[in-house]
Structure formats: structure tokens, C-alpha cells
Amino acid sequence: MKATCIIHAKIIEFVAWLFFGLYIFQGIEATEDDHLLLSPMEKNEQEALYSAIQGFVGDGWNGTDLYPDPCGWTPIEGVSCDFSDDFWHVTELNIGSVYENSLGCSPNAEFRQQLFKLKYLKRLSFTNCFTSVRNQQVSLPISDWDYFANTLESLEFRSNSHLIGTIPATLGHLKNLQSLVLLENGLTGEIPRNVTDLIHLKRLVLAGNKFEGHIPTDIGKLNELLIIDGSRNKLSGQLPSTIWGLSSLIKLDLSNNLLQGTLPNELGYLKKLTLLDLSGNRFSGGFGKSLEGMVELQEMLLSDNPFGGDLMAIKWENLENLQYLDLSNTSLIGDVPYSLTRIMKLRFLGLSNNGLSGIIPFQDFEKLSNLNTLYLNGNNFTGRLGFSEEFYGKLGSRFRVYDNVNLCCMIDKKSSSKFIAREVKPCEQ
């Protein structure tokens, strides 16, 4: 009995010490959290941040309602900080109308030199900032980017219609940059050659500007790139053969430019590519076998180019992951190859406005269970349409065959495919 009482006493003592330890630990933890929240920014850094923000949003903003500073209990939307060496440091700055409480830009937004004194900055972005009709046009600073050479990892300018001028060559000094996004601005000129010095770049987006000139010939140096989007510009010349070096690339969009020449054989080395969009250019010389080497491709858009030639040289069934294929308006001739009907995951096939001929392989197309869009209009197909009622009903208006003058269709008055009668003449009985 005495031994039992001693054991119970020891248990009670242990539990008491356990709760006491937890209480002390929680107190210490709370004190450390409070210390972090109350730790200051360096005065020079805070002043530089405030002046930089005022340059974009106007001098009426002064940050006096922030306690104890922008990294404390009342942070600014768009400003993020990291704690090191007993101080908070600004590591991210997002300017522009992204969220309701974001730092919106004034009509007189401008870059101030104090921006480049934020020596810990890793991410910098501007969205819908330089857009006001009252806003005088603004160019990117030329000589100050070297201050961010060792820190900046992401630089983005999105939807700034009044941001003009060229890409400063000094952006090529940002040796740790992983993301460069210059999307839908008013930028002009050529792509600086030293952009290929950004060897850690994973995303390069230049879409929706007025860039011109050639793609840098040593673009293949950027072997960590995952995404290239240079669409909707005025880029010219050929695709450089060094493109084979972009071994990590998963998206290549150069649509709606002035690119020309034949597709380089080296394109087939892009084994990880899932999207290839070269539509709306001036490529010619037919489709080479290199296309069938991109085995992970899910979307291929080559429409609106004068490629010419036929579809017979490619083993289309090798592109077993392809879901979207648009070859419309590419000056194609010849028959539809059987291998094209063996891409089992295909959902969209556009072959419109070409010179394709022969009989449409309707029985093979019907075996593509995932196919929901088929555009064959504007060709020279002959013979009789023999698709089933189920096929017509499944695709509906997403099946187009008009402007094939030698094509005919058997029309049943009770058929669900009556719309075909408006596109194709009835076959003679």
C-alpha cells in the first residue's frame, strides 16, 4: 500500500513538472515571436522603400499608419520581408492594381533611384501600373539593375501599355534571375544578346510587345528554361539551330510573329516539350520528321504558315500524347495519312483551308473516341461522307466540311445531321 502511494505521488510530481515546462516553453516562444514582430527595419532601407513606393503611387502615401514598419503587424499589400541579422529586409515588392488593397499607381508613376537601394530584393513586379492616359510614357531604367545582380530572382512587368523603349542590356547582369516576364507592354527593339547570360532562367515571357529582329543565336545556352513565350511581336528570321540546347523546355510559343524559313531538325531534341505554337508566321519547307521526335507533345499549333508539302513523311502515331493539332491554312496537299488517325488521345484536329484531296477516312476518324472537333473545310476532298449519326451528333457544329466542292453526303430527312446539308451537296441517288 505504501509503495502504491509513493508511485502515485511520483506520477503527480512528474505531471506537475510537465505542465510547468510547457508553460515556460510557451512563454519563451511567445516572447521570441513578439521579438520578431517588433524587430525593426534598418532605417536606410525603410526610407528607400517609402521613397520608391511614393515614386509609383504618389507622395500622398507616407506609411505613417504602419506599425512598427512595413514588415511588422500592419504590413503593406505587395510587400514581403524576410528576417536576418536581427533586422527585417524587403525581399518582394509588387506594385500595381492586382488586388483591391494593392498599391495602385498614380498617373505620374516613375522609377526612383531609391528602388535600387533595396539590396535584399528577390522579386519585383509591376502590373497595370504605367497605363494612365495622363501618364507620360516611361522607359525601363538603363543603368541601375546591377544593384540587383546578386539577389533578384524574378522580374515582371505585366499590362503596362505606357511602358516603352527597349530592354536594357544591364538586365543581362541579373545572374540569379529565374523569371523574366515582360507581358503586354509597349516595349520595342531587339532582344539583347546577353539575355542568354541569364543561365538560371526558367521562364522567359516577352509576349504582346513590339519586339523585332532575330532570336539570339545562342539561345540554347539557357538549358534550365521551362517556358518561352515570345508571341505577338514582330520577331523575324529563322529558328536558330541551337534550340536543341533547351533540353528542359516544356512550352514554346512564338506565334504571331514574322519568323520564316524551314523548321530546324534540332526541334526534335525537345523531348520534354508539351506545347509548340508557331502559328501565324511565315514558315515554309514542309513538315520534317523532327516533329515526331517530340514525344511528350500535347498541343501542336502550326496554322497560318505557308509550309506546303504533304503529311506523309511523319509517323504521326509516335505523338501518342498529342491532344490538339492545328494545321489549318498551311498550304498542304495530298491525302490524309492513316497514321494521322492513329493518335488515340486526339481531341482537336484542324486541317481547314488547305489543298488536301482524296477520300476522307471517316471510319478511322470515328475510332478516335476522344475526338470532339474536326475541321476539314476549305479543301479538295472527294467522294461521299460516311460518318455515323452518332458521330455527327457528338461533334455537332464542331464538325466542318464546307467548301469541298467534290464532296457529297447522303441526307436522311429524319437525320440529326441536317446541318450537313447546308455544307455539302447531296449525293446523286
The residue written with cell numbers 457528338 in the block is 394
Mean pLDDT (whole number) for 399-408: 93
pTM: 0.88
pLDDT at position 70: 75
pLDDT at position 423: 81
pLDDT tens column, 364-380 = 999 999 999 999 999 99
pLDDT tens column, 153-204 = 999 999 999 999 999 999 999 999 999 999 999 999 999 999 999 999 999 9
- H-run or E-run covering 357: strand 355-359
Can you read off the three cell numbers belonging to residue 72? Answer: 511588422
Mean pLDDT (whole number) for 400-419: 77
Mean pLDDT (whole number) for 314-324: 96
Range of lowest pLDDT (1-10, 66-75, 119-128, 204-213): 1-10
User: String of b and e for 235-257 (b: at least 16 CB within 10 Å)?
Assistant: beeebbebbbbbebbbbbbbbbb
**Strand pairing of 79-84 and 87-96?**
antiparallel
pLDDT at position 21: 43
**Strand pairing of 275-277 and 299-301?**
parallel
- The values of phi and psi at residue 194, to 5°, are -80, 5
Range of lowest pLDDT (14-28, 61-75, 397-411): 14-28
Q: With a cut of 70, say whether residue 5 has pLDDT above it.
A: no
Q: With a cut of 70, say whether residue 210 has pLDDT above it.
A: yes
Contact 256, 235 (CB under 8 A): no
Contact 342, 319 (CB under 8 A): no
pLDDT at position 346: 98
Domain ranges of the chain: 43-115+130-136, 116-129+138-426
Range of lowest pLDDT (70-74, 83-87, 206-210, 401-405): 70-74
Return the percentage of the chain with pLDDT > 90, whole number.
70
326 C-beta neighbours (distance < 10 Å), count? 21
Q: With a cut of 60, say whether residue 31 has pLDDT above it.
A: no
CA atoms within 13 A on the CB side of 397: 0
Greatest CA separation for the chain: 112
The residue written with cell numbers 520595342 in the block is 188
pLDDT at position 412: 65
pLDDT at position 407: 93
Q: With a cut of 80, say whether residue 421 has pLDDT above it.
A: no
Q: With a cut of 90, say whether residue 76 has pLDDT above it.
A: no
CA atoms within 13 A on the CB side of 292: 14
pLDDT at position 10: 42
Average pLDDT, rounded, for the chain: 87
pLDDT tens column, 225-262 = 999 999 999 999 999 999 999 999 999 999 999 999 99
Q: With a cut of 50, say whether residue 40 has pLDDT above it.
A: yes
Whether domain 116-129+138-426 has CATH 3.30.420.10 = no
365: DSSP letter = H
**Strand pairing of 188-190 and 210-213?**
parallel
CA–CA separation, 129 and 107 (whole Å): 9
